């Protein structure tokens, strides 16, 4: 038998590191098993200078802007993750090879990186409303406490009081908001002059809450306003799970084990969990033993491991994913202005539309000024010949704004995951079916039209709508929903997978519903909560092994 720990965590993403945190702090022996890819090519090449300085002065910029293999030049449609630049593409390395899928109408992204998908995330961090937490199956009062703990740990900046306050959950532990850029300032001013009319229509606008620092935390520095956030992370301003992983790794009771691909788990009669996997690119089976197991392999990764371990091949489980639309716009009120030099590249503003005026069906959109992702990415989409298109786009560039709209998602029978058996675990395929009902498509279309009307009212002319395909939001969940009902293939409110004694789930697969808000802050808060539950549930038995 292999090494034995108090708790084994599978995955080092946003969910995994915050589940491990309270356990490591309490002195438990925690092993985190991960594939753990890293960027070994570009990070050291990117100077900590502003985008314009780099464009003017760095002779090596083509290496990271375009990629050594020109992998930064998009060739197909928009698809999922168009903003994943060459220095971030390690996040998706081996996503297909290590995780075979059958998903003809869905474009999923999976990560096998140290820090998972949040190595490339946009850091938009709105807490869910209590009503949304209830629909997710989460105990709202408990999660509220953990929002504050996690927000303090990772640093969330934003306005404590603005018009978005009523359509988001409470977050007291906030840093001051980051500065907004020239486009956002004007749009916000225009909204403020008409806010009563907007609110009568159920539309609210304010600054985006971001897991990016405006004040230092330890060695992490406030955002440098270099407009390089899609390429690098100067001063670790934007929160990425590797920040927490580094902190955990300082502790002798934390063991980060890679590069291993976990395949399955089982529980033995003495109440221990055995986790088996293999070194990637190897075949020999490795076994690790723990008193509890926390699954944080990402919503799709956890689904694969749980269904395989419980031998539930060919059985459908529910699946949800936030539908996602891009609305590229010309902010005509900013035409003729130069792009502001000092700015960040993250989301600037958030618009929330409440179509039913009861906060139960919110739609959310984020605005981004388009500059540092560069015009060549847009050329393919432009309805103009390339040469002329580029000239026109250069002139319009400082007023390019992209709104990214997200809708909520509820489970239904046309959205599911099912594991199909291969000749060995490595060739099992996760089949994903995802179809939106005609009624959902109609409702989303109406909401997007309302959002576009209001975007126009703040000075943005929408050029078109781009539907990048199902899966492109990369917000997945719902396979083992948290519920009080004692049903197979669900998790209980403590986070424990039903039918097991000590297997817990902390990633999106335990969320019964996906509101129209990025799920990651909630995943981190819930993971911190479940990590605490594991500590309390198994306290007595674990104390003996830690001592």
Residues in 193-252 that interact with ligand FAD by CB under 6 A: none
User: Cβ of 392: how many Cβ atoms within 10 Å?
Assistant: 11
CB of 47 or CB of 425, closer to ligand FAD: 425
CA distance 27 to 253: 6
Does 297 sit near ligand FAD (CB under 6 A)? yes
Does 529 sit near ligand FAD (CB under 6 A)? no
CB of 117 or CB of 187, closer to ligand FAD: 117
| Cα angle: 177, vertex 183, 185; to 5 degrees | 45
Does 123 sit near ligand FAD (CB under 6 A)? yes
Q: Is 438 exposed, middle or buried (0-12, 13-18, 19+ CB in 10 A)?
A: exposed
Does 475 sit near ligand FAD (CB under 6 A)? yes
Does 89 sit near ligand FAD (CB under 6 A)? no
CA distance 209 to 159: 7
Q: How many residues make contact with ligand FAD (CB under 6 A)?
A: 43
Site string for ligand FAD, 54-83 (x = CB under 6 A): ---------------------------x-x
Q: Is 245 exposed, middle or buried (0-12, 13-18, 19+ CB in 10 A)?
A: buried
CB of 170 or CB of 391, closer to ligand FAD: 170
For 543, phi then psi, to 5°, come to -55, -40
Least distance from C-beta 193 to ligand FAD, angstroms?
Answer: 29
Least distance from C-beta 68 to ligand FAD, angstroms?
Answer: 21
In angstroms, what CA-CA distances link 115 with 17, 36, 519? Answer: 8, 7, 16
Residue position matching structure tokens 């694969």: 304
Among 7, 46, 54, 117, binds ligand FAD (CB under 6 A): 117
Does 180 sit near ligand FAD (CB under 6 A)? no
Q: Is 76 exposed, middle or buried (0-12, 13-18, 19+ CB in 10 A)?
A: exposed
Q: What is the C-alpha R_g of the chain?
A: 23
Residue 516 near residue 365 (C-beta atoms within 8 A) = no
CB of 459 or CB of 468, closer to ligand FAD: 468
Residue 71 near residue 47 (C-beta atoms within 8 A) = no
Does 507 sit near ligand FAD (CB under 6 A)? yes
Does 301 sit near ligand FAD (CB under 6 A)? yes
CB of 20 or CB of 523, closer to ligand FAD: 523
* Residues near ligand FAD, by CB under 6 A: 10-16, 33-36, 81, 83-84, 109, 111-113, 116-118, 120-124, 260-262, 277, 296-298, 301, 305, 474-475, 507-508, 518-520, 523
């Amino acid at each position: 038998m292999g090494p034995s720990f108090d708790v084994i965590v599978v995955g080092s993403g946003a969910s995994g590191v915050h589940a491990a945190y309270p356990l490591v702090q309490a002195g438990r022996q925690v092993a985190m098993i991960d594939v753990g890819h890293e960027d070994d090519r570009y990070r050291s090449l990117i100077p900590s200078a502003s985008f314009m300085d780099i464009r003017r002065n760095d002779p090596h910029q083509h290496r990271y802007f375009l990629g050594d293999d020109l992998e930064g030049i998009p060739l197909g449609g928009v698809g999922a993750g168009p903003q994943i630049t060459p220095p971030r593409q390690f996040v998706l390395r081996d996503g297909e090879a290590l995780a075979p899928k059958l998903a003809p109408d869905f474009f999923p992204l999976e990560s096998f990186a140290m820090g998972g998908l949040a190595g490339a995330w946009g850091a938009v961090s709105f807490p869910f409303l209590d009503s949304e937490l209830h629909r997710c199956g989460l105990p709202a009062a408990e999660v509220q406490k953990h929002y504050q703990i996690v927000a303090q740990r990772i640093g969330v900046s934003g306005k404590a009081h603005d018009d978005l306050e009523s359509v988001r959950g409470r977050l007291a532990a906030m840093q001051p908001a980051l500065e907004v850029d020239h486009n956002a300032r004007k749009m916000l001013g225009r909204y403020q002059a008409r806010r009563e009319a907007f609110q009568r229509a159920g539309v609210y606008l304010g600054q985006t809450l971001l897991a990016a620092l405006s004040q230092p935390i330890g060695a992490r520095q406030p955002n440098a306003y270099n407009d390089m956030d899609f390429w690098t992370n100067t001063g670790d301003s934007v929160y990425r799970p590797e920040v927490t992983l580094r902190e955990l790794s300082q502790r002798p009771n934390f063991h980060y084990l890679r590069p291993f691909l976990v395949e399955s788990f089982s529980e033995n009669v003495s109440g221990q969990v055995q986790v088996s996997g293999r070194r990637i690119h190897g075949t020999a089976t490795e076994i690790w033993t723990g008193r509890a197991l926390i699954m944080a392999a990402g919503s799709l990764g956890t689904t694969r491991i749980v269904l395989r371990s419980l031998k539930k091949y060919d059985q459908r489980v529910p699946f949800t994913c936030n539908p996602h639309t891009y609305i590229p716009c010309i902010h005509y009120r900013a035409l003729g202005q130069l792009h502001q030099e000092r700015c960040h590249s993250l989301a600037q503003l958030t618009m929330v539309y409440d179509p039913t005026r009861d906060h139960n069906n919110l739609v959310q959109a984020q605005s981004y000024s388009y500059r540092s992702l560069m015009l060549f990415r847009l050329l393919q989409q432009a309805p103009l010949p390339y040469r002329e298109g580029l000239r026109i786009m250069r002139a319009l560039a400082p007023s390019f704004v992209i709104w990214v709209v997200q809708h909520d998602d509820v489970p239904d029978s046309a959205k599911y995951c099912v594991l199909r058996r291969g000749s060995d675990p490595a060739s099992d395929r996760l089949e994903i079916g995802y179809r939106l009902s005609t009624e959902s498509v109609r409702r989303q279309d109406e909401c997007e039209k309302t959002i576009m009307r209001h975007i126009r009212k703040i000075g943005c002319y929408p050029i078109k709508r781009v539907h990048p395909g199902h899966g492109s939001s990369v917000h997945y969940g719902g396979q083992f929903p948290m519920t009080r009902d004692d049903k197979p293939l669900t998790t209980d409110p403590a986070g424990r997978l039903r039918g097991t004694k000590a297997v817990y789930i902390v990633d999106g697969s335990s969320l019964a519903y996906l509101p129209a808000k990025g799920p990651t802050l909630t995943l981190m808060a819930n993971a911190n909560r479940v990590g605490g539950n594991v500590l309390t549930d198994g306290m007595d038995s674990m104390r003996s092994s830690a001592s």
